């Protein structure tokens, strides 16, 4: 996805737009180094997915399949942005892949980013650049998932296991291609299917219509300045969904007479949305600093404070799930209350412009591009997973 360097300017005259000849040469050495390291971390993650010995031929083949499928989807996504940016004469870098060790990521990577230093002069260009990434990635992810789920094994359920989230699109693909599952059994995803699931999960997050995520670019291209209001509401909806998800789990257990025994599991299943509420606030804060003419608010909640709050909530939730002590959950509730109070006093729960998109040309999209924008945003609804990871 594009980084916060992506900006646009309503007043830029056509003569100021860089020509194709004026675009600087594309640097590639650091990009290649990061990609090479990412191949290693994704491959090691793929090895950990195999239930057999990690040095076996089967484990190595499965790890290679997982690596090729996942990085193929991510490369397609990022090159979609890159090609569209260069087509519109926007100075864009090659993708910078972000490797992560398997203990920190279920995929071995945080994906990739592309830096864009040129302004984006029109809403048409903004749409093309924003939509090209997710649509290109899905063009690979959908058929790879269909093939992977068709080649997945059916195994008997045995004890606790992690259930991957589903979406309308995934359910449709499962209905068409998944093997028949008898009661007491479930599907063990083929590495290619898991990689494609991860690609669709990343695309879902990127299509949130907030700030300078891909969905934010597409929505701003479609709605113009009205999108700034919609982005703030979408951001608050992420926080609201955390509470709705947690409350629904707890209510289900109370109706079943289980009390709060599994409260820690339910917090863990819902915590992703609380984390992303804060992550989007951090990204919005960082992005706003790169917008010309926008002055930072000296009283605004700092990035370090948000990171510390999120880390505390994650650690306490992990301890609470493991030990299920009342004192741990009281501490977790206290940190959550303090975090929301700080956001209400000097953060994103007060009037703010941190999620406002940089302005671009006022000319609306043509009919064809409006259709593309609607289809791209509709993909978020088709990909939406209420609980991506469930224990």
* Residue of 232, 206, 196, 248 lying closest to 72 (CA atoms): 196
pLDDT in tens, 101-146: 988 889 999 899 888 877 788 999 999 999 999 999 999 999 999 9
Q: What is d(CA 283, CA 96) in angstroms, rounded to the nearest whole number?
A: 17
Phi and psi at residue 55, in whole multiples of 5°? -90, 0
- Residues whose CB falls within 8 Å of the CB of residue 100, separated by 6 or more in sequence, listed in order: 41, 107, 108, 109, 110
CA-nearest of 320, 325, 167 to 246 is: 320
Task: Render pLDDT for 3-22 as a digit per residue (tens, 0 to 9).
Answer: 444 433 333 433 334 444 57
Q: Tell me the pTM.
A: 0.89
Cα separation, 123 vs 125, in Å, equals 5
Q: Is the pLDDT of residue 204 over 60?
A: yes
Per-residue pLDDT of 265-307, as tens digits, reads 999 999 999 999 999 999 888 887 766 666 777 778 889 999 9
Higher per-residue pLDDT: 178 or 119: 178
Check pLDDT > 90 for residue 26: no
């Amino acid at each position: 996805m594009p980084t916060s360097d992506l900006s646009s300017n309503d007043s830029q005259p056509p003569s100021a737009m860089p020509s194709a000849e004026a675009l600087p040469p594309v640097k590639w050495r650091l990009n290649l180094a990061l990609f090479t390291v990412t191949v290693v971390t994704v491959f090691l993650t793929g090895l950990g997915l195999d239930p057999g010995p990690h040095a076996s031929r089967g484990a190595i083949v499965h790890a290679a399949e997982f690596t090729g499928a996942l990085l193929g989807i991510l490369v397609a996504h990022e090159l979609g942005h890159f090609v569209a940016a260069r087509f519109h004469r926007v100075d864009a870098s090659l993708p910078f892949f972000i490797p992560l060790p398997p203990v920190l990521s279920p995929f071995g990577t945080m994906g990739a980013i592309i830096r864009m230093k040129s302004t984006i002069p029109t809403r048409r260009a903004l749409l093309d650049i924003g939509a090209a990434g997710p649509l290109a990635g899905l063009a690979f992810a959908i058929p790879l998932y269909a093939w992977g789920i068709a080649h997945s094994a059916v195994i008997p359920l045995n004890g606790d296991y992690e259930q991957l989230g589903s979406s309308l699109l995934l359910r449709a693909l499962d209905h068409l291609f998944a093997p028949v599952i008898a009661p007491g059994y479930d599907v063990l995803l083929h590495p290619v299917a898991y990689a494609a699931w991860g690609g669709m999960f990343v695309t879902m997050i990127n299509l949130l219509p907030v700030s300078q995520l891909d969905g934010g670019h597409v929505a701003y291209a479609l709605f113009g300045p009205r999108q700034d209001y919609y982005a703030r509401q979408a951001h608050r909806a992420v926080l609201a969904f955390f509470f709705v998800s947690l409350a629904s789990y707890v209510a289900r257990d109370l109706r079943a007479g289980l009390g709060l025994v599994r409260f820690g599991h339910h917090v863990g299943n819902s915590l992703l949305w609380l984390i992303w509420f804060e992550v989007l606030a951090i990204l919005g804060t960082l992005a706003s600093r790169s917008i010309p003419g926008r002055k930072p608010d000296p009283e605004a909640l700092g990035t370090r404070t948000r990171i510390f709050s999120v880390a505390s909530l994650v650690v306490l939730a992990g301890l609470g799930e493991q030990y299920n002590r009342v004192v741990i959950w009281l501490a977790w509730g206290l940190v959550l209350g303090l975090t929301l109070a700080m956001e209400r006093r000097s953060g994103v729960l007060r009037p703010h412009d941190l999620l406002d998109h940089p302005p671009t040309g006022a000319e609306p999209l043509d009919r064809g591009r409006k259709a593309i924008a609607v289809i791209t945003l509709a993909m978020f609804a088709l990909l939406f997973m209420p609980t991506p990871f469930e224990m």
